[in-house]
Structure 1
């Protein structure tokens, strides 16, 4: 019974120690350690003990024990190799797991980025749709315009066909005759218009706002003696402490602000009642009763002369003040100066001037107070005076220099912007130029004409 028990002890020891690799088992006396295996961290995972070889050496069971121990040893070595391979595989699995976690994180980030990109793209598309939305009615209008254009083209084709037919029926000779008749009619109309140069003011309509610019006070004008192709505009902002005159080649350039030239006068001006006449600027020199004639072409002063006894520097201004004591103007009959003197008790004085020398040719005294006048302008030798520069103003008084007579009138005009600091007549355009509280405006005038024919005596 003892031998079998001794033969089974090594296998039992192997199983027990394999199940509990962390336990430390010491061999009994007379037994020896035959084989052992450790893991990668140096921990014992298998220990084989056996009796010393001199015990039961001749016993038949001892051979069987040795054979069994050899098998156990082989198994232990296989276990060790398997353990090392398992450890290597485990490390590889751990590495793969980390890589899988990284890929999972990347996939999650890509998914989030994709959602953000889609949301951003959707927002951009939505914004673009919002921008395009207002264009729909415009496109609808274009459809309507396209229909109108098609109709216009059709009408044009019809008219062209009619004109072609008429031209074929009239013939070359008849066409020449018709052309000469048109030229003759145009000549007669121009001759008739030349007889309408002067008349009596009946009505003022408007204004038409040309531009909004500058301060509340200023002046703008064109040259009434310039040719029809010369439409230059001159612009003088403010009523004092300035020398700058801005020039524009046309009314279109003036509206768009496209300045063509700037002039710097030798003297500052006073007031807003300047005038351009036959290429020269006429203005009142600041803090004096001196009139200055400045040539735009030559860029220098051609003449200057004191207006005898004329009040200046707000002694006899218009109702709005602004050093508007001396008002220079031009009409169909020439150059004029309107002012007031102590000798005429502060009432308005009218003087006709020589445009070249500024010499006074003739003077008329009126009985209308200069300080009670809002503004004034000359048409065909008659001075028209407004009773205020504010809302509700009207042309209240007129003085005819031909007959040296006056009359009270009642011609309203619309003071649209409530403060008029300049009102001047341009006989080439039959219009009143106004500076209305920082707005440059034009008024149309209606004149009553008496046409003289060759039969009139």
Structure 2
């Protein structure tokens, strides 16, 4: 494909979340997308490690510890060098004295008359006291040479570590953190400008936490700004009223810093979604959709989804009262369900978030009981053929053209029983509940971008 062609293909990777636990630190920086500017030049964007990751990166921590050790060694070497220098000077002075005494002793030995017996004995005693210093002198000389070598090695090591430190960008962690935050903001902005695309791939799973029962739902808000990192957690698939709200993803991983919401009406299934500060869910033993506002802790609106089956009339293949599945994508709020008049085939309805009024409906023709789970991306419903091991994304329905196709997009169902699978357009990731494990997937979207000259 020519660099200056009017149309080019864009492969777009999912954005990174703002917390440390995904991706894992060893994944590091990744290519996010590629595009062209007005002049036809290629533009590549990268995803930095998540916020605060540098502070927790084992390699960075080890580097800091090593630098501290080197610094301590250097200080110890200076003290040792000073002490050895003083001792060596003393030994050198003693060596000179010993040589003088030894010279006089030789003269006296050659001419005994020059020294009386008493003086001669005293001289011999002094020489006897000085003789043990000779091996000490040799040892000090060797130690001094070794210290010089060690000092040179430490100096070289310090220079190498400083170079590594500069290459890693670990010299000023606060400055790096601010740069990462700025980059994240720009990436999210760029991601929104790039718009939508067609799903072509799903990454390996990232297990965030193992908690709760076999069935459940967890999510972040699909619409609010990226600075809000709250996580909501709903364990179980029917009759429950308890929703946990964690302050951050990191708190969710640790199971700390959460508040509890007690819903006025119990839920059914696991197809809940948090959209712009409110929880949308299916009321137990009904086809009523409830909008619960977290800040006011109140139900803002509830509306019946006309004709929709409930109480395991038209669930996914795993059952669990999953008749009505609510979800959100770049185009808004959706309900996925089925009716008797549609013969159990999946129906998609786009909802008005404030009133829950149905704006438009599509009949996909795909039997809901044959689907493991489904999710919306850019107005397209993607359906898996099973909730068990070996599942793949098998079917796609495009609401913009009211058409469908069969797909073959594999993904690793690590824990072999998915009871919730939803796409978050803000983070461009798939949230799943897999047999008591909360798991994330990155997605790869393929898009055709037209230049202004097209």
TM-score range with shorter-chain normalisation?
Answer: 0.5 to 0.7
Give the C-alpha shift of residue 153 in structure 1: 5.3
Give the C-alpha shift of residue 229 in structure 1: 1.3
Aligned pairs for 1:143-222 within 5 A: 146=66, 150=70, 154-155=159-160, 157-158=162-163, 192-222=190-220
Decide whether the 8 Å contact of 2:67 with 2:158 is kept in 1: no
Aligned match of 2:253: 255
Give the C-alpha shift of residue 279 in structure 1: 0.2
Aligned match of 2:423: 425
Decide whether the 8 Å contact of 2:269 with 2:323 is kept in 1: yes
Relative distance call for 1:195 and 1:268 in structure 2 (3 A) is same
Are residues 1:389 and 2:387 paired?
yes
Give the C-alpha shift of residue 227 in structure 1: 1.4
Relative distance call for 1:361 and 1:152 in structure 2 (3 A) is farther
Deviations 1:1-52 (A, max 9, x none): xxxxxxxxxxxxxxxxxxxxxxxxxxxxxxxxxxxxxxxxxxxxxxxxxxxx
Aligned residues between the structures: 294
Relative distance call for 1:367 and 1:190 in structure 2 (3 A) is closer
Decide whether the 8 Å contact of 2:330 with 2:378 is kept in 1: yes
Deviations 1:304-327 (A, max 9, x none): 000000000000000000000000
Bigger radius of gyration: 1
Aligned match of 2:115: none
SS at match of 2:233: strand
Relative distance call for 1:269 and 1:195 in structure 2 (3 A) is same
CA distance, structure 2, for counterparts of residue 158 and residue 308 of structure 1: 67
Decide whether the 8 Å contact of 1:293 with 1:301 is kept in 2: yes
Task: Report the aligned-residue RMSD.
Answer: 2.7
- Residue 336 (structure 2) aligned to one of 338, 341, 348: 338
Give the C-alpha shift of residue 277 in structure 1: 0.2
SS at match of 1:146: helix
CA distance, structure 2, for counterparts of residue 229 and residue 153 of structure 1: 39
CA distance, structure 2, for counterparts of residue 211 and residue 161 of structure 1: 34
SS at match of 1:392: coil
Aligned match of 1:231: 229
Can you give the 5+ residue segments of structure 2 that lack an aligned partner in the other structure? 1-61, 71-155, 168-182
SS at match of 1:455: coil
Relative distance call for 1:262 and 1:152 in structure 2 (3 A) is farther
- Residue 294 (structure 2) aligned to one of 290, 296, 313: 296
CA distance, structure 1, for counterparts of residue 215 and residue 403 of structure 2: 32
SS at match of 2:253: helix
Decide whether the 8 Å contact of 1:392 with 1:414 is kept in 2: yes
Relative distance call for 1:159 and 1:416 in structure 2 (3 A) is closer
Give the TM-score normalised by structure 2: 0.61
Give the C-alpha shift of residue 241 in structure 1: 1.7
SS at match of 1:229: coil
Decide whether the 8 Å contact of 1:195 with 1:451 is kept in 2: no
- Residue 411 (structure 1) aligned to one of 402, 409, 412: 409
Relative distance call for 1:191 and 1:307 in structure 2 (3 A) is closer
Give the TM-score normalised by structure 1: 0.61
CA distance, structure 2, for counterparts of residue 231 and residue 418 of structure 1: 28
Relative distance call for 1:316 and 1:153 in structure 2 (3 A) is farther
